[in-house]
């Protein structure tokens, strides 16, 4: 309370001394009026005058038609996946969420690494066979029916987890200066970072089929997965390499004095510090790659954006595509905000500040 009174006294002294920048005050008032002029009509359209339930015939041009979300929510979540088999997607999303929660909350690094390895290398294979079916009496669902928001979430989680391990390996190889191997890694990283992700996705869709056998018409999603993963690993490796370079040579020398081998020193001393230093950059890449998963819609994959565009192309929903884009934008903003909050929490725990 004392601090608040002191602050108020200082403000009053400031105004009493007529040390007032009227130009800034005028600009602030004008900006506030402009904001209200934009915000109030938007609130009127999106909330007060919106139609929240009922039939599409009740929608009008003076308000948002959120009935579009209500009627198409299943397609936006699952794509064209059969309703009777949608429990598979629910199960996988729950399983991935539990693994991510354990990786975040568990304090033992060995356990975290174990769950991360499962997420990166075991879960993609399990997901493919469970989603495709044909085993244990499960209905076969071709990959062209996979889609929706849950696909964005699962696809991104697996791809980012795998990219993290590949990126760490690439960073170590480039850091060690192992002759031709380091040179090849540098070429790969520069190539991936120099090409737009969209062009790589089109390459995976249109060019790679000439070189790989299309097993049951399903290798498209596999090709996209690996191209997306390798693209992310190139950026991930540079973030981790920056962390490795920030660890002082004295840390390595201290580990050698304690009798640790070069491998033990890297795993137990250098890499944990490097990851702590690189955490903000890594989390920034996680957010960016999660948002980039919406680019799958450009190559006819029915992710949440693709399904939104498909459903809004129907005659009755054509006037309400804006509501679909707003819904998708809000979901991704909320997800990215949650990732940022998790990152801030982790940084606070390990005392790494930007």
Give the confidence band of 354 by pLDDT, cuts at 50, 70, 90: very low
Provide the pLDDT for residue 27.
Answer: 80
51 beta partners: 65
Spell out the residues 6+ positions from residue 173 whose beta carbon is closer than 8 angstroms to its own: 181, 182, 185
Q: What is the DSSP pairing of strand 147-148 with strand 302-303?
A: parallel
pLDDT tens profile 295-345 = 999 887 889 999 999 998 888 888 888 999 999 999 999 999 999 998 888
**pLDDT tens digit string along 23-76?**
777 888 788 877 777 788 888 888 888 898 888 888 887 889 999 999 999 999
Q: CA 150, CA 154: separation in Å to the nearest integer?
A: 6
| E strand spans, the chain | 147-148, 302-303
Taking the CB of residue 262, how many other CB atoms lie within 10 A of it?
Answer: 12
Kindly report the backbone phi and psi dihedral angles of residue 336, in degrees, each rounded to the nearest multiple of 5, phi listed first: -70, -35
> How do the domains of the chain map onto residue ranges?
77-350
C-alpha–C-alpha distance, residues 349 and 334, integer Å: 23
**What pLDDT digit, counting tens, does each position of 232-288 carry?**
999 999 999 999 998 888 888 888 888 888 888 888 888 888 988 899 999 999 999
CATH topology of domain 77-350: MetI-like fold (1.10.3720)
In angstroms, the Cα distances linking 127 to 89, 108, 133, 158, 311 are 9, 27, 10, 10, 26
Instruction: Please report, to the nearest 10 degrees, the dihedral formed by the alpha carbons of residues 194, 197, 201, 206 taken in order.
Output: -40
Find the mean pLDDT for residues 111-120. 92
Count CB neighbours of 246 within 10 A.
12
Residue 353, pLDDT score: 42
């Amino acid at each position: 309370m004392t601090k608040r009174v002191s602050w108020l006294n200082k403000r009053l002294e400031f105004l009493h001394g007529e040390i007032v920048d009227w130009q800034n005050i005028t600009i602030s008032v004008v900006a506030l009026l402009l904001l209200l002029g934009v915000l109030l009509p938007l609130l009127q359209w999106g909330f007060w005058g919106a139609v929240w339930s009922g039939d599409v015939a009740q929608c009008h041009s003076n308000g948002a038609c959120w009935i579009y979300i209500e009627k198409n929510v299943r397609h936006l979540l699952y794509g064209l996946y059969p309703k009777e088999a949608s429990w598979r997607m629910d199960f996988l999303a729950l399983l991935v969420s539990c693994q991510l929660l354990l990786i975040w909350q568990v304090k033992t690094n060995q356990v975290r690494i174990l769950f991360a390895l499962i997420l990166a290398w075991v879960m993609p294979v399990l997901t493919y066979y469970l989603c495709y079916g044909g085993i244990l009496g499960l209905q076969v669902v071709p990959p062209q029916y996979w889609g929706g928001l849950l696909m964005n979430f699962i696809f991104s989680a697996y791809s980012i987890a795998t990219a993290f391990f590949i990126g760490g390996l690439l960073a170590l190889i480039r850091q060690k200066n192992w002759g031709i191997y380091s040179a090849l890694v540098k070429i790969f990283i520069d190539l991936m970072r120099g090409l737009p992700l969209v062009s790589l996705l089109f390459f995976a869709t249109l060019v790679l089929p000439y070189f790989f056998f299309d097993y049951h018409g399903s290798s498209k999603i596999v090709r996209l997965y690996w191209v997306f993963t390798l693209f992310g690993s190139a950026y991930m490796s540079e973030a981790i390499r920056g962390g490795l370079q920030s660890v002082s040579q004295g840390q390595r020398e201290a580990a050698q004095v304690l009798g640790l081998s070069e491998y033990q020193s890297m795993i137990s001393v250098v890499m944990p510090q490097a990851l702590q230093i690189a955490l903000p950059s890594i989390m920034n890449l996680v957010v960016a790659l999660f948002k980039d998963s919406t680019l799958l819609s450009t190559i006819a994959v029915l992710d949440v954006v693709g399904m939104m565009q498909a459903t809004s192309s129907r005659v009755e929903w054509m006037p309400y595509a804006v509501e679909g884009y707003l819904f998708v934008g809000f979901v991704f903003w909320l997800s990215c905000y949650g990732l940022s909050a998790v990152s801030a929490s982790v940084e606070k725990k390990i005392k790494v500040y930007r």
